[in-house]
Amino acid sequence: MLINIINNVMQYLRPILEPVKVSYSNELLANQLNDISIILFIMSIFIIILLIVFMFNILIYINSDKISNYFSNKLIIWYINFNKKIIGIELIFLGSSILYFMYILSYGLHFLATHPIIT
Render pLDDT for 12-52 as a digit per residue (tens, 0 to 9). Answer: 888 888 888 888 888 888 899 999 999 999 999 999 998 99
Res 36: pLDDT = 92
pTM of the model: 0.73
Q: What is the mean pLDDT of the chain?
A: 88
**Interval 87-92 mean pLDDT:** 88
pLDDT over threshold 80, residue 119: no
Res 102: pLDDT = 92
**Percent of the chain whose pLDDT exceeds 90:** 26
Which backbone phi and psi does 72 adopt, to 5 degrees? Answer: -115, -10
